Chains A and B, each alone.
Chain A
Amino acid sequence: QKEVEQDPGPLSVPEGAIVSLNCTYSNSAFQYFMWYRQYSRKGPELLMYTYSSGNKEDGRFTAQVDKSSKYISLFIRDSQPSDSATYLCAIGNTPLVFGKGTRLSVIA
């Protein structure tokens, strides 16, 4: 079983839609949960960071962690074409364990 599972998509949505991205993980000891965004030919950049269970909101982005289910989510409200990118979940601290990434396209 992989440490982090993430559906690679691709996922295509119309502009303005709510996007839900998810990962599951196997190691219950993980405490740090991150979402990175990666544009084509660029490096990953940190989008959201949560510690332990709960929700965190930042503008149009909401990150959720359910440690009992070992399940993390990223929600994007009012999605924009500029949100088109690959979204990677990353878990742990040092070193980070990444999911495969979900490629998202937001169509105008």
Chain B
Amino acid sequence: EAGVTQFPSHSVIEKGQTVTLRCDPISGHDNLYWYRRVMGKEIKFLLHFVKESKQDESGMPNNRFLAERTGGTYSTLKVQPAELEDSGVYFCASSRFLSGTGEAGELFFGEGSRLTVL
């Protein structure tokens, strides 16, 4: 079974440009999460999809970030326009719901997309 895959693995862009990160979750996982790690800081939650719906987007830093999950499969995270402070590693994770509890099961993380904004 393929794991969570993220693309690109590394992106270097100029301030003001746009970048789109893509995440393909594990097949059958309804839950999809975006997290971000800025250098020297903790991994922080950005948002959570259940299928195609945004369940929780409380961690999105501002309106320059737009996440979508069309059809409840893969997800994209667009940063437009990018700022210096957006540099970091963006992790995607997915999980299935645990039967009988409605709770999310183990999170499986991708390897991350490293974003460098110059």
Contacts and interface: CB of A to CB of B under 8 A. Distances in A.
Nearest to A92: B45
Contacts of B43: 44, 88, 98, 101
Contacts of B41: 100
A45 B59 contact: no
Interface in A36-91: 41-46, 49, 88
Interface of B is mostly: strand
A44 B111 CA distance: 8
B109 interface: yes
Contacts, number: 48
Contacts of B25: none
Nearest to B3: A43
Nearest to A43: B109
Contacts of A88: 43
A32 B46 CA distance: 19
Interface residues of B, number: 24
B42 A4 contact: yes
Interface size bucket, A side? Answer: 10 to 19
Interface string B94-118: 0000000001101111111000000
A94 B42 contact: no
B48 interface: yes
Given A46-B106, A98-B35, A101-B43, 9 more contacts: A4-B42, A41-B111, A43-B4, A43-B91, A43-B93, A43-B112, A95-B48, A98-B42, A98-B43
Interface of B: 4, 31, 33, 35, 41-45, 48, 55-56, 59, 91, 93, 103-104, 106-112
